[in-house]
Amino acid sequence: MIKNTYLKKSLETLKLKHPYEEEFHQAVFEMLEALDVIINEHPEYQKYNIVERLLEPERSISFRVAWMNQKGIIEVNSGYRVQYNSSLGIYKGGIRFHPSVNLSILKFLAFEQTFKNSLTPFLMGGGKGGADFDPKDRSDEDIMRFCQAFMSELYRHIGDELDVPAGDLGVGKREIGYMYGFYKKLQNRFNATFTSKDPLYGGSLARTEATGYGLVYLSEQALKTILKTDFKDKRVIISGSGNVATHAARKVIELGGKVIAMSDTSGYIYNPYGLNVDSIIKIKQDRLGLEEYVKSFENTKFNASKEDIWTLKCDIALPCATQNELDEVGVRALIDNGVLLVAEGANMPTTKAGIDMLRRNKVVFAPGKAANAGGVLVSGLEISQNHQFYSYTFEQVDTILTTSMQKIFFDIYETAKKYNKNNDLLFGANIYSFNRVARAMIAQGVI
């Protein structure tokens, strides 16, 4: 419950202006709930109306994407780019291709991205974009045609000193390559306007691994600092089986943990002795479902209800699939089974009720804006490398990623402790990131 009158009014105004943007409301409420604790210590935030200014993106762009598929049929999709806040630097955030994409989801993602980026050592504001195009089961030719049509509008709104997109759900190296190639043709310039590129033409080594690895690096530091333990011999369940989930799984195993379950849209697989991540990666590269895995590995079960993955007994849970996938029912099952740590690899995968339950039961919870910041952190590093016309080695990037994720942990851990919210990493992440963005906004005047 938010008590401060200014914060309550700001939230009420937001809901009246944008009544149907539920994901955005959820992200904003989480931030304002933390601010409620400190707002009276910062009268300047109300004086400069920082909260209401932050509840409106600086720019929301929507456009039609009309394109002809390889069969000669004209299709129409909706495209978007939300340039949320630039007080700390260029707009930075991914492009998502998925049927669920709409302005509400992109606003919440861009809002979260603004604060996530502020936790990194790079000067980046927040943005997010995408389209309601579904690349699943599409040919390479259709995907290229769509990417070029999408870029024929978006190109005029981005640039390496303005807005630098990256990959996200449904957008990998293939899609980035098609978009960046067409952007170069339209602009007649080769620059750092896209990240998540292939290393062949400017992408950073370790970028593919960065979000999953970073999730585990921050989780490992939380385990050591708060619980005086580590990943060794811990049972870990990971929702999802995409890029973030599989690389998180690899790092967990490298650190001595045992990944016992993973999921995809068809269900989840479970093996109490541990899963073979390389085989899972091969299955997903072949665009098959996880039910294929059980054909080759004994002691593995497939369950068609992916939500039931949270009922498995584990020590650590890493939700890495999509927003609001871990609800109160799933959290209750995790707690009953003795979970020690829940760390978010996806953006807002835990519902508000689920988060509240984790905090009440003193389960260590690492929110996505901190825990999955590794991807954008290495994207910032990719921009730096492009401007230097130089590529760092995998080991150099991984070292920077490790130390940066550890610093993010200690920044939010110490912030929580300062306000007597010991071990509340969600509170620490919200307050540390908000203070950094707010101070920059105040310093730059009313713009």
Q: How far apart are CA 155 and CA 178, in angstroms?
A: 13
Q: Given 107, 116, 128, 173, which residue is catalytic?
A: 128
Beta-bridge partners for 387: none
Torsion angles phi and psi, residue 412, rounded to 5: -80, -30
Query: Is the sign of the CA dihedral 155, 172, 327, 360 positive or negative?
Result: negative
Q: What is the pLDDT of residue 348?
A: 87
Residue 71 annotated in active site: no
Look at residue 166 in the predicted model and tell me its pLDDT. 96
Predicted confidence (pLDDT) per residue in 192-210, tens digit: 999 999 999 999 999 999 9
* Element housing 14 (H / E): helix 5-17
Phi-psi label, residue 159: left if phi above 0, alpha if psi -120 to 50, beta otherwise: left
Q: Where are the alpha helices (DSSP H) in 255-366?
A: 277-285, 328-336, 352-360
**Distance in angstroms (rounded) separating the CA atoms of residues 135 and 1:** 41
Please identify every stretch of the chain with a pLDDT value under 50, giving residue numbers as ranges.
none
DSSP state of 326: B
